[in-house]
Amino acid sequence: MTKLHELAKLRQSVWYDNISRSLLDSGELSALLDAGVVGVTSNPTIFQQAITGGTAYDPAIGRLAADGRSAQEIYEELAIADIQRTADLLRPLYDRTNRGDGYVSLEVNPGLAHDTAGTVAEARRLKGAVNRPNVMIKVPATPAGVPAIRMLTGEGINVNVTLIFGLTDYAAVADAYISGLEILAGKGGDLGAVASVASFFVSRVDTAVDAALASAGHTALQGCIAIANAKVAYARFNDLRRQPRWRALAQKGARVQRLLWASTGVKNPAYADTRYLDDLIGAETVNTVPPATLEAFLDHGSVRSTLTEGQDEAAAQLSRLAELGIDLASVTQTLQDEGVAAFAQSFEALIAGVRQKRDQLRSPS
């Protein structure tokens, strides 16, 4: 039994924040599933590194280039093939857990983050192209993304809501999911067939707030706010589950939209390398973990329910931060804006890298 199996007993799931063809071909992903990983997430940066950072995809790129495919078409075919293979590998988990886990996520084009209609159309298209029940389509929690989440949920599409940093955005996302389920229920849809996670980013909050605290000459709260923010979000998640509006949906078979802790790799070397797993353990949550952090946790992580510990202290820390003149809502909005821009840049670099490989591989030697 690994620490991941111990987490499962506490009703927390660990997903792997990485995907690549070599991971699939080598059997490494299968080994991770044996170790207790129960899902996979991807993003444009991960695909950029996988496709353009080596030669594993070159034979496929060469074949597609010979068929006259554009760089965008090549990327999509490569990514969808990887997502389909991963979904098939995870399918036994999905079936065994009655659709509780076994999901793989694919992100809409980040360039659509401020385009509701474009996001909805892209999500529908990607879901149809992958054609697997255990795929989640990643949609950002931007002002344009939130109504898209409601619409897609209302159509029975599984959504991984990404780039949540702040409590206000989380509240909007949770409401969009509940509203979408109400729409689906009104159409007689199967609520139990829909799953969603709200991906709450963690380590970048500490990075930004620590810098603001240092500039203000207050260091006592450094390294505290990301965990405090997450604990308050978890308290609100549990509050939502007690509301009559949610209970009415639950009676019809609806699944909770689990909080998923993302960006859990430690950015500050002064902090323990497993802190964003050790301190974020709670029932009905997911932690999506990058490779180095997963290895560290398996080796020396600590397993106990921690999300419900010190929730009053967490709220007090957020209050104290405001008293010091640091506007967490402003910080988290900036982080979301930067996250959208970073994923868009990664996507553009990915397409440019595929284009370069395509042109090289189809050029006469």
Closest CA to 255 of 62, 44, 103: 103
Which one of 138, 231, 252, 357 is the catalytic residue? 138
CA-to-CA separations, 53 to 20, 21, 43, 282, 349, in angstroms, rounded: 11, 12, 15, 36, 11
Extended beta strands in the chain, E state: 12-17, 39-41, 103-107, 135-140, 159-164, 196-201, 258-262, 285-289
Provide the β-strand partners of residue 103: 39
d(CA 111, CA 107): 11
Tokens of 345: 């840049």
Phi, psi dihedrals of residue 225, rounded to the nearest 5°: -75, -35
138 included as an active-site residue: yes
Q: Is 258 helix (H, G, I), strand (E, B) or coil?
A: strand
8 A C-beta contact, residue 283 and residue 10? yes
d(CA 153, CA 162): 15
Q: Tokens 């940066």 identify what position?
A: 45
Tokens of 361: 């591989």
Residue 53 CB-density burial (10 A; 0-12 exposed, 13-18 middle, 19+ buried): exposed
- Active-site residues, by number, are 138
